[in-house]
Amino acid sequence: MFSNPHSAFRNPHSTGEYRTEMSYYEEEDLGRFGEMGRHRPDLFEKFMAWYQACQEDGALSRREKALIGLAVAHALQCPYCIDAYSQSCLESGSNLEQMTEAIHMASALRGGAALIHGLQAHNSVGKVSM
């Protein structure tokens, strides 16, 4: 439950109603991303132009970029991004095998990144050990 009328979550362009029930992540909020442009639209427009340019076919195809996006979304564990890039992967022709491989890549990197920090622990232990 969240109903503080002074909340920063208030949408000034909405009907004036406040949410009386919400969780931190709402599925429909993905479609409301554009509302972030209602304050400092200049910054949002610059972001969107850059973001959209990144999606286009270039040295990498849209499909490859969608798979990268899906992997990064999992590394960030952003539910909006996971939802959006799962759809993008399907709409660029990827299948579940390919998407799952991309997710494993993200997971492997996260695992490896954690594991290699074990050397810091070892170094730290070594520094104070006889």
Partner 1 sequence: MSRGKLPVVDDGGAPARAPAAFEAMLAGHGLELRAGAVEVLQVNVGKLCNQACKHCHVDASPRRTEIMTAEVADHVLEAVRRFRFPAVDITGGAPELNPQFRRLVSGSRAAGSRVIVRHNLTVLFEPGQEDLPEFFRDHEVEVVSSLPYFLGRETDSQRGPGVFDKSIEALGRLNAVGYGRGVGGLTLNLVYNPVGAFLPPPQASIEADFRRELLARHGVTFDRLYTITNMPIRRFLEYLRRSGNEERYMRRLVDAFNPAAVAGLMCRTTLSVDWRGRLYDCDFNQMLELPVVAGLPRTIGEFDPETFAGRVVETGAHCFGCTAGAGSSCGGAVLKT
The alpha-helical segments, DSSP class H, found in 6-117 are: 41-55, 62-76, 79-91, 96-116
CB of 7 to partner 1, least distance (A): 26
- Interacting stretch for partner 1, rule CB under 8 A, among 11-19, 40-48, 90-98, 109-117? 90-98
User: What does the alpha-carbon distance between residue 55 and residue 83 come to, in Å, rounded to a whole number?
Assistant: 16
Is 31 an interacting residue with respect to partner 1 (CB under 8 A)?
Answer: yes
CB of 28 to partner 1, least distance (A): 9
CB of 93 to partner 1, least distance (A): 3
CB atoms within 10 A of CB 102: 23
* CA distances (Å), origin 29, targets 24, 25, 26, 38, 60: 10, 8, 5, 15, 29
Question: Of residues 32-71, which lie at the interface with partner 1 (CB under 8 A)?
Answer: 61-63
Sites of contact with partner 1 (CB under 8 A): 31, 61-63, 87, 90-93, 95-96
